[in-house]
Structure 1
């Protein structure tokens, strides 16, 4: 894979800094290298290996045409996730997690469709027939829906995977994904239980530099998967076009031979 990650890069981004030792989760022990000044230090060789493992799986999911939903509502991660996931054309939640986002997906889709219907009202002129008060109410509703669900408007079915920054904070999203057997990828710090996640990336989930470094690698792998999918589809289109042209070419050759005789 082109986006191999170096341990040195992870070190420079501060990915190795865990939480204070008294706040640790013992299940993170396999990923901890040592304790320094009361803080756990994450083993970056294991982090690098886990990033590679996650990237390989995410690339396959993206190549299959399924969406990966990114979830990060903490201040340090919001803008980074919005930028990286948006650039990779993947849905994301950076505001409050809407309860039932996955387990009651039909209702969430209705809210997204409501947003689309308001947009249609504005295009066809129906919006202008409303009273000033009604227009104000509709505008407020549209703004609220855009803030909470605008980033998932293209997600027409349940995602193929969830990528979470800080599983303790996003525990509701984790529970919903578990109920539906949706694979969970996550940055897991030393204060969290990695057993809740299918693909663990042991990393500092509090520092923006650390989050940016991991997300850059992950989204690059997803973009690679999308490129592979596009190349495969383009190749199939070319094959289909060639297959359609073949009988015509054969027919033309037959006609020419007949005329010559």
Structure 2
């Protein structure tokens, strides 16, 4: 992924903010100056924040979680639909359906309705309907496709949201905050950056500006997906080799050798804990990248450890790490972690689909 230069952002008009009278004071750290009654965004901060956001998006994509892109404004919808479709991620470009995240179970029912209409057309049931009924079903199918077609493969809540213009998509922001879903966003000078986890200060009105930022973001997602694919391909041959390889019989050691090993044994035991690899805790619904980082730092690195942890202790860890995570409800996390530790991924997925943000 090629790093974007300040000159490229300047040529695309990413630095143009809104009129000074329309500004949000919380955007002051990202504003460079005022010129002719218009605020100018500091592009050096834009580059730094874009790199930070890209790194986080890359990790989420590599973990296998979906990133939902939201852009319903005229200038952005075609650009977002075109670029996001190439990386096979869900997107909303027509209208944000209320309860898209907080009432995800109902939204999934609408998507399943669309799939059932497709089955009717394949098995011939559709042709048995009257002309009027066929017309009504076709209209319903077209409406569902327009509003929900891009999220038809999203079977669970997304791992993150990417929003263009947080003022316009304020309902999406509120729903994501309620469910502790990380928010990435292009934030203009008239928006409030306090609710956004990864702020990208930029002009969210010009199509050129949106195009260059979306290009960088989707490249990062594509890189994360390719890393995941490469990792899976490298793991497949190893698994086959392990299956084929028969365990060799251990030779009987001489008494002298046994005595030497007995002396070296404590060293091996001391090194073992350091090799413990951390599991991807973000697969537990309700745990975002920042929450996972705080939990791992506290010594809870694996699904098995999280399954045995006390919800109140986890709450204390999160609150100490950041006041912004104090509202999280970790009650169901040990239960989810137990299913993950036991390899019951289908059961975990079904449970997550039937709950809202991991809260029972």
The equivalent of 2:94 in structure 1 is 95
1:178, CA displacement in angstroms? 0.3
Specify the SS of the correspondent of 1:69: strand
Compute the displacement of 1:115 (Å).
Answer: 0.3
Paired position in structure 1 for 2:119: 120
Separation in 2, partners of 1:3, 1:196: 29
Instruction: Tell me which residue corresponds to 1:68.
Output: 67
- Which residue of 2 is the match for residue 161 of structure 1? 160
Deviations 1:19-39 (A, max 9, x none): 000100000000000000100
Instruction: State whether residues 3 and 221 of structure 1, in contact with CA within 8 Å, keep that contact through their aligned partners in structure 2.
Output: no
Query: Alpha-carbon deviations, 1:82-133, whole Å to 9, x = none?
Result: 0111111100000110000000000000000000000000000000000111
Does the CA contact (< 8 Å) of 1:71 and 1:93 recur in 2? yes
TM-score for both structures, normalised by structure 2: 0.68
CA contact under 8 A between 1:165 and 1:186: conserved in structure 2? yes
Q: In terms of mean alpha carbon deviation, does 240-249 or 187-196 score higher? A: 240-249
2:80 counterpart residue number: 81
* 8 Å Cα contact 1:185/1:199 also seen in 2: yes
Q: CA deviation at 1:245?
A: 2.2
Residue 16, structure 1, aligned to residue 27, structure 2:
no
Report how far residue 249 of structure 1 moved: 11
Per-residue CA deviations over 1:206-246 (Å, capped at 9, x if unaligned) read 00000000000000000000000000011111110111222
Deviation at 1:248, TM superposition (A): 10
In structure 2, C-alpha distance between the alignment counterparts of 1:248 and 1:196, rounded to whole Å: 55
Consecutive aligned runs of 4 or more in structure 1 exceeding 6 Å deviation: none
- Whether 1:201 aligns to 2:191 is no
For structure 1, the 5+ residue unaligned runs are: 251-261
Greater displacement, 236-245 / 159-168: 236-245
- Alignment: residue pair count: 249
Q: Give 2:58's aligned residue.
A: 59
| Equivalent position of 2:317 in the other structure | none
Q: Is the 8 A contact 1:84 1:215 kept in 2?
A: yes
Aligned alpha-carbon RMSD (Å) = 1.2
Residue number in structure 1 paired with 2:187? 188
Aligned to 2:178: 179
RCO greater where, 1 or 2, for CA within 8 Å and sep 6 or more? 1
SS of equivalent to 1:34: strand
Partner of 2:169: 170
Q: Which runs of 5+ in 2 are unaligned?
A: 250-360
Determine if the alignment matches structure 1 residue 32 to structure 2 residue 31: yes
Report Cα offsets for 1:29-59 as digits up to 9, x if no partner.
0000000010000000000000000000000
